[in-house]
Amino acid sequence: DTEVTQTPKHLVMGMTNKKSLKCEQHMGHRAMYWYKQKAKKPPELMFVYSYEKLSINESVPSRFSPECPNSSLLNLHLHALQPEDSALYLCASSDPLAGGDEQYFGPGTRLTVT
């Protein structure tokens, strides 16, 4: 199974809502990532978990809160977002034992903040 799944596919939320994005992989990868992508731009790294520990936080605002409950799951909790946070949120995983190498991406969650 070389698939990364993400739910929901689409999410519309108001600026006062709290919601969560979910990501799952069963490839045994121990590195998982959250990216934010605006239209026709490269993905911007937000967070990296390595062996279930947060290893990189790219100065992301605290209204985004990541969580890695176990080696297969990655969540991104959202609270009090701004309209400029509307974007495609991508989850990815890779095998750090293989030098990281290629990343496997999920299909993304299209987030709209109203």
Residues that bind other proteins (CB under 8 A): 4, 6, 31, 33, 40-43, 45, 48, 56, 90, 92, 94, 96, 99-108, 110
Nearer to other proteins, 17 or 86 (CB): 86
The CB-side HSE value for 15 (13 A sphere, CA atoms) comes to 5
Q: How far is the CB of 107 from other proteins (least distance, A)?
A: 5
| Gap between the Cα atoms of 67 and 53, Å rounded | 9
Q: How far is the CB of 21 from other proteins (least distance, A)?
A: 13
CA 24 to each of CA 8, 41, 65, 88, 114: distance values in angstroms, whole numbers, following the listed order: 12, 24, 17, 17, 27
Nearer to other proteins, 42 or 83 (CB): 42
DSSP code at position 85: G
Q: How far is the CB of 114 from other proteins (least distance, A)?
A: 20
Q: Is 63 exposed, middle or buried (0-12, 13-18, 19+ CB in 10 A)?
A: middle
Nearer to other proteins, 27 or 80 (CB): 27
Q: How far is the CB of 28 from other proteins (least distance, A)?
A: 16
| Gap between the Cα atoms of 49 and 88, Å rounded | 19
